[in-house]
Structure 1
Amino acid sequence: MQSLPDDVIWSSNYSRDMARILTSSRSIRSRQIIGLISILGPCTTRNMTEYVLEKSNIYEYKPIQKKDLKNMQSVFKGRLKDRIDNSSNKTYPGLINEGYIVEIQNEKVKQGPKHTLSLKGCLFACGLNFSNKETVQFIKNSAMNHLFFHFLYKTYEKTSLGFIKEIFLNPILDLIKRKRIDLDDDIYLNFGIIADTIGMTLYKKRSSLLKKQAYMSENREFEQIETLRKLIIYDYNPREDWYQSIVDLYYKGNARDFYEEYSEGNFEMSLFHKVMYQLLHAYHEAVPEPIPIRSGFRLPHSTAWKEKKNMKRK
């Protein structure tokens, strides 16, 4: 195996029985590919290879050899799709077949197609030991085609990475480590427990502050929770264009096109809606106080709704 520094391999606390992609000795490359897409964004296997070799101690003082580029790119390609070992007849699960990575069909370049993470891939990446800078980049890249992670990035911009880790990322990691999230099952079956756990984390956080009488305007933790409250988008009886309005709010121009092509459709809204519901309830139940039927966020109507309304007026 190519000699690589730890920050290119990204260790994790996952045991080998947590997912099929971790069951073989080749799982290190699976973790590596998911980590690379997390911080590079949509990329080819050539992009991944160049990044890895540039970080390698071997090439600290000499140019990268073409044969090593070719060999490592071949290794990465071999981890994307199911592969059968002819000597043992054993099948090694591929990241695309297992639903962790999506091939970007309309962006084929000379080095091959680009790849991005699915929701399942993003959830797996929550358990990789990224640096703080890499974690921010992971959230930002994941926001390109996933509503939940776009909400995380918006919240991060107004609070802190520590807050995002505490309320969102660490609870997801804990669920995976305790096998409460089944990475080998349809990922949407785990949305409920993800949302419940995030909500419970916020509930405990706010309850603790209230009990300590530390819930004051000058308290940094108080400010972050209040900021989160203002970003929650929820309505018990959502209007017809609710989903499209949220997509319009988060994605503009080419970013909207990419989201439409490589998001996971209704599953995006399912996870987003469940998380918003739990955050709203957790915030108010911590007092306790009556729970409103909608959050205070004023969501503009979608562009399509406005156009339809204007046409009726003509």
Structure 2
Amino acid sequence: MTRIRFYSRTSQVDEPILWDNEFPYGTVPIFIGKKAKNAMDLLASLELCGASTTTDIARYAIESHYSKGEIDGMGIHFLKRREHYYWNHIWGYVKNRRAKNGMKYHGLIKEEYVKKVDSLTENVHVYAPTLKGHLASLGYKFKDDELIKFIKNASRNSLYFAFLNHIMEKISLDFIKEIFLFPVKHMIRYQRIRFDDDYRLNFDLIASATAIRIERAIRLSWDEIYRHMPASSRIRMKANRVLLKQIDVLMQNTWFDLHANSKWLGHLIELYYPTEEQRVFYERHSDPSDKNLIYKVMREIHLAYYNGYEEKIPNKYTQKFPLPIRRNRKKTNKRSGKKHALKLKLTKYHFD
């Protein structure tokens, strides 16, 4: 509980953390201390409303948990004060610097959980979570509709979450929760995944958690379906067949390549970000290590699938990759076709 002041020092209320989470104390450094509640609410609100200003973030947090009548009774300064709290957390403001016991806020930008993104309006600061912020947010107990918002918003600047969003559209949210999110939440709950050190050390754990779940599901489902284990009921066998088909769909949309290069990466970016605007936003606001995470996740899915069926593991995906998105380029004529085609071939998959 945190004391929240409305419009005067005598008008206060104890407000709980607005979004429940599964973070053990100390797992995420910015969630430690007296002001941890505001940092938790800030990051959750930002994940759910997407790239926003502090005013939009504060309004979303308040309107998500208070009725219109309650907000009107809190006074006009309630939103401004919440906005001020969030600004302090984003920039790491130090309150009462001259005092020995001055209050110091964790800077979410300095700690790389949040970054400032491009804004169409001058002198208006817009913020969005980074990959580190997205991974830390996996510990929140979002409702299903909030979870969909979170994945879609996070997919704008992360290939890993773009991959999850793509699979969610192909299969279902329940499949994403079962194969990807629940294993990671389990590791967060038991402090296997932490953020008090280099968060990139968690990439292998995140990838292996998904792989273990896939391989175990394949082996158990295979045993119950094809070996006719007596404990299996018809309902259970039907559920196992559905799960195996869903894992097959997952595998058909996993593009692991042992010899991945910039061309492979270019294919993924064009697949998940079909418009130029989406690609520009991703390139400007993504974390460089995001490419490493998606590679490890796809690699572990690839290995787990073939290990589960005890088959020989190929060096790359065997299904046909979707054709690259066609750009609005001028058609080449027969005279200059070879020269122009060579130029396109050299520049098509160039990424900084």
- 1:236 matched to 2:258? The reply is yes
Aligned residues: 310
1:187-202 pair list within 5 angstroms: 187-202=199-214
Partner residue of 1:260? 283
Give the counterpart letter for 2:156 in structure 1. M
Aligned match of 1:226 in 226, 231, 248? 248
Stretches of structure 1 lacking an aligned partner (at least 5 in a row): none
Report the 3-state secondary structure (helix = DSSP H, G, I; strand = E; otherwise coil) of the residue aligned with 1:107. coil
Alignment correspondent of 1:26: 35
User: Which residue, 140, 153, 156 being the options, matches 1:141?
Assistant: 153
CA contact (8 A) 1:46 1:111 kept: no
Partner AA of 2:162 in structure 1 = H
- Following superposition, the deviation at residue 60 of structure 1 comes to 2.7
Separation (CA, whole Å) in 1 of partners of 2:146 and 2:18: 13
**Secondary structure at the residue paired with 2:125?**
strand
Q: Deviations 1:38-59 (Å, cap 9, x if unpaired)?
A: 1111111100122233234363
Given residue 17 of structure 1, which amino acid in structure 2 is its aligned partner? G
Structure 2 residue aligned with 1:171: 183
Moved more, 110-119 or 152-161: 110-119
Is structure 2 residue 124 aligned with structure 1 residue 124? Answer: no
2:55 equivalent to 1:43:
no
Following the alignment from structure 2 to structure 1, what is the Cα–Cα distance between the partners of residues 51 and 171? 26
1:311 corresponds to:
342
Preserved contact between residue 25 and residue 32 of structure 2 (Cα < 8 Å): yes
More displaced 10-residue stretch of structure 1: 55-64 or 33-42? 55-64
* Contact kept? 1:232, 1:276, Cα under 8 Å: yes
TM-score by length of 2: 0.80
Shift of residue 89 of structure 1?
A: 3.7
Distance of aligned partners of 1:237 and 1:52 in 2 relative to their CA distance in 1, 3 Å threshold: closer
- Write out per-residue CA displacement over residues 84-104 of structure 1, whole angstroms, 9 at most, x where no aligned residue: 343414533221111111111
The one of 97, 103, 115 equivalent to 1:102 is 115
Which residue does the alignment assign to 1:53? 62
Deviates more, 1:12-21 or 1:228-237: 12-21
- 1:71 aligns with one of 81, 94, 113: 81
Higher mean alpha-carbon deviation, 153-162 vs 212-221, is at 212-221
Shift of 1:4: 8.8
**Residue pair 1:37, 1:116 contacting (<8 A) in 2 also:** yes
Matched, 1:247 2:269: yes
Q: Distance in 2 between matches of 1:189 and 1:76?
A: 28
Q: Provide the rounded CA distance (Å) in 2 between the counterparts of 1:79 and 1:139.
A: 23
CA contact (8 A) 1:232 1:297 kept: no
**Which moves more between the two structures, 37-46 or 12-21?**
12-21
Other-structure match for 2:170: 158
User: 2:41–2:61: 8 Å Cα contact kept in structure 1?
Assistant: no
Residues 214 and 305 of structure 2 are in contact (CA less than 8 Å); yes or no, is this contact kept in structure 1? Answer: yes
| Partner amino acid, structure 2, of 1:185 | D
Superposed CA deviations along residues 200-231 of structure 1, whole A, max 9, x for unmatched, are 11111111111111777993212211110111
Aligned AA for 1:55?
S
Contact 1:103 1:113 in 2 (8 A): yes
Q: Distance in 2 between matches of 1:150 and 1:38?
A: 14
For 1:66 and 1:116, the matched residues in 2 are separated by 26
In structure 2, C-alpha distance between the alignment counterparts of 1:240 and 1:120, rounded to whole Å: 23
> How far apart in 2 are the matches of 1:16 and 1:246?
37
Distance 1:189 1:43, change over 3 A: same
Give the CA deviation at 1:120: 1.0
**Gapped regions of structure 2 (runs ≥ 5):** 6-12, 227-236, 331-338, 346-352
State which drifts further: 212-221 or 281-290: 212-221
Aligned partners of 2:14, 2:183: CA distance in 1, in Å?
30
Whether the aligned pair in 2 keeps the contact of 1:244 and 1:302 (CA below 8 Å) is no
Stretches of 4+ moved more than 6 A in 1? 214-218, 306-309
Residues 111 and 160 of structure 1, relative CA distance in 2, 3 Å threshold: farther
Alpha-carbon shift at residue 187 of structure 1 (Å): 1.9
8 Å CA contact 1:34, 1:125 repeated in 2? yes
User: How far apart in 1 are the matches of 2:123 and 2:142?
Assistant: 27
Which one has a bigger Cα radius of gyration? 2
TM-score normalised according to structure 1 size: 0.89
Residue pair 2:22, 2:188 contacting (<8 A) in 1 also: no
Q: Which moved more, 1:182-191 or 1:274-283?
A: 182-191
Q: Supply the AA of the counterpart residue of 1:169.
A: L
Quick one: structure 1 residues 171 and 218, their matched pair in 2 at CA, closer, same or farther if it must change by over 3 Å?
Answer: closer
How high is the sequence identity, in percent, across the aligned residues? 26
